[in-house]
Amino acid sequence: MSDKRQIKIFDTTLRDGEQSPGASMNLEEKLEMAHALAALGVDIIEAGFPIASPGDFESVREIARQVRGPEICGLARCNDADIDRAWEALQPAENPRIHVFLATSAIHREFKLKMTPDEIVERALKGVRRAKGYCPNVEFSPEDAARTEIDFLCRVVEAVIDAGATTVNIPDTVGYATPAHMGNVIKQLMNRVPNIDRAVIAIHCHNDLGLAVANSLAAVENGAGQIECTINGIGERAGNCALEEVVMAMRVRGDYYHCDTRINSQLLVPTSRLLCKLTGLQVQRNKAIVGRNAFAHESGIHQDGMLKEPRTYEIMRPEDVGLTKTDLVLGKHSGRAALADRIRTLGYNLTPEQVQSVFNDFKVLADKKKEVYDGDLVSLIENQLNGAVEEEWSLMDYTATLHCGTRPHVTVTLQKGNLRETADSVIGDGPVDAAFAAIEKITGVSLVCKEFAIKATTIGINASAEATIEVERDGESFRGRAVAMDSLEAAIKAILNATNRAQSAKRSELAKS
Ligand code: KIV
Ligand code: ZN
């Protein structure tokens, strides 16, 4: 038995994370993610906000029915309808938790809720008592706790624990805190709330100042026993505390924090990649722990040190987070077995059909490029996984006519089942703009482009191109991504990927109604 204090990991990827633009998932996707989180070893899965929509209710209920291991939690405001609905969704869970919240800061009391401090306490108690009537496991969150006057926060926390809250979460809802500030809030609660030992104190930090992980660690240092976080740090605005970062900080610096979690760290990279696949939201290359460059060593001095002793420049082993690095470069003579092995060591778990499909793409790429690097391979795999999103339309052919000083023309042919359609000589401000218009003409799907980027997947002039796009329809955003040797082809495929995602979301909505 470890002498380290065990910190509970409360994962809110499917609730706070899913709330962020471009991160929406359908029922099957949420279930797949919830099973992955259970395998990863999180203690609590916040599966959604059941009153928010029929879709949210359905996914919380299905997760409660099917996922075993972690506690399953549903969010509710402090009112009867929310709490009743949350309980209805959570009932099938082996170990349910109701999470009620109410804002406590002066700014929220005055402008949002128009309630006095006494009314806030009364409403919070009513909410906790109603939830407690259903379920022994109740969490309360004073929303915007980090900006709440400390005396009032102590009063609320004491009252909700008396009313039966078993966990009290301290959210930094707007990402305003700094580590010293957050540490001090937890310290004050620990010292001043007389019944504090009857509840677990949790921390829930947003990342608006890039401090969510640091603030969560400061809270742990001062006695918090639960961290609320998301895979890849997704969440409202700048996101939430990143699970993989906070977990590895406690593990790698166990000498300092004397804390640990139940997380199977070797599943961190696969779980991160699963989320990227399901949402289309990629992590930045230099993202700690799970970014593509997190274990890449570029400078000669570092490479030399690494060859002599990896610990010179690596504070954790890539395999500890689910990544086995080798310097193996694949080429056109590499076989399927070598490729399959490389895919596994890169942290992906593909079906034999998906491996075959990546192998086919790899052969095409290896014919064009002498050496295929990990970066190329990751792009091919992610391309394949992106393709796993029901691709209603696929690209058959395209041509582009570009002359200096004139607007480009693009012709695109798409296929849907047995149907082939061509949009001929569509003009745009640039070839990507023209391709966007051509795809809209064929599919009839009208989208607004919010962000478009194209970059090389690896070093060198012959690197493949990776295109990413974010589009919007009726305020909902969708992402698309694709890789190809030709940058226009990558762009067309990325637009198509986003179009297919938008259509797939529409089909799921229609199926529900
Ligand atoms: O950020 C926040 O305050 C929340 C609460 C609902 C816990 O997400
Ligand atoms: Zn939040």
Q: What is the pLDDT of residues 236-265, one digit of tens each?
A: 999 999 999 999 999 999 999 999 999 999
User: How far, in Å, CA of 205 to CA of 105, rounded?
Assistant: 16
- pLDDT confidence tier of residue 3, bands split at 50, 70 and 90: confident
Task: Give residue ranges with CB within 6 A of ligand 1.
Answer: 16, 101, 141, 143, 169, 171, 173, 204, 206
- Measured in angstroms, how far is the CA atom of residue 492 from the centroid of ligand 1? 38
Give the position, in ligand 1's atom list, of the atom nearest the Cα of 144: 3
What Rg, from alpha-carbon coordinates, does the chain have? 25
The pLDDT value recorded for residue 331 is: 76
Label residue 234 left, alpha or beta by phi (over 0 means left) and psi (-120 to 50 means alpha). beta
The number of the ligand nearest the C-alpha atom of 141 reads: 1
Q: Say how many C-beta atoms besides its own lie within 10 A of residue 417's C-beta.
A: 7
- Measured in angstroms, how far is the CA atom of residue 234 from the centroid of ligand 1? 14
Q: Which of 3.10.105.10, 3.40.50.11820, 3.40.50.300, 3.20.20.70 would CATH assign to domain 5-279? A: 3.20.20.70
For 394-512, give the CATH class: alpha beta
- Cα angle 414-418-420, degrees, rounded to a multiple of 5: 30
* Residue ID of nearest Cα to ligand 1 atom 6: 101
**Could you tell me which residues are beta bridge partners of residue 7?**
none
Residue ranges per structural domain of the chain: 5-279, 327-386, 394-512
* Residue ID of nearest Cα to ligand 1 atom 4: 173
What interhelical angle do 117-134 and 80-90 show, nearest 10? Answer: 30
Task: Spell out the residues 6+ positions from residue 410 whose beta carbon is closer than 8 angstroms to its own.
Answer: 398, 399, 400, 401, 425, 426, 428, 431, 434, 435, 438, 488
* Residue ID of nearest Cα to ligand 1 atom 5: 143
Q: What is the pLDDT of residues 339-380, one digit of tens each?
A: 888 888 777 778 899 999 999 988 888 887 767 877 788 778
Q: What is the pTM of this model?
A: 0.77
Nearest Cα neighbor of 456 from 366, 373, 398, 381 is 373
The pLDDT value recorded for residue 294 is: 87
- pLDDT confidence tier of residue 225, bands split at 50, 70 and 90: very high
What is the pLDDT of the chain when averaged over all its residues?
91
Give the dihedral sign, CA 278/279/283/284: positive
User: Distance of CA 245 to CAs 216, 231, 249, Å?
Assistant: 11, 9, 6
Is 348 or 11 the better-scoring residue by pLDDT? Answer: 11
Give the position, in ligand 1's atom list, of the atom nearest the Cα of 236: 1
Mutate which of 13, 15, 16 for ligand 1? The one with the most ligand atoms within 8 Å of its CB, which is 16
Task: Spell out the residues 6+ positions from residue 68 whose beta carbon is closer than 8 angstroms to its own.
Answer: 38, 94
Mutate which of 56, 83, 143, 169 for ligand 1? The one with the most ligand atoms within 8 Å of its CB, which is 143
- Measured in angstroms, how far is the CA atom of residue 399 from the centroid of ligand 2? 47
- Measured in angstroms, how far is the CA atom of residue 408 from the centroid of ligand 2? 46
User: How far, in Å, CA of 37 to CA of 71, rounded?
Assistant: 11
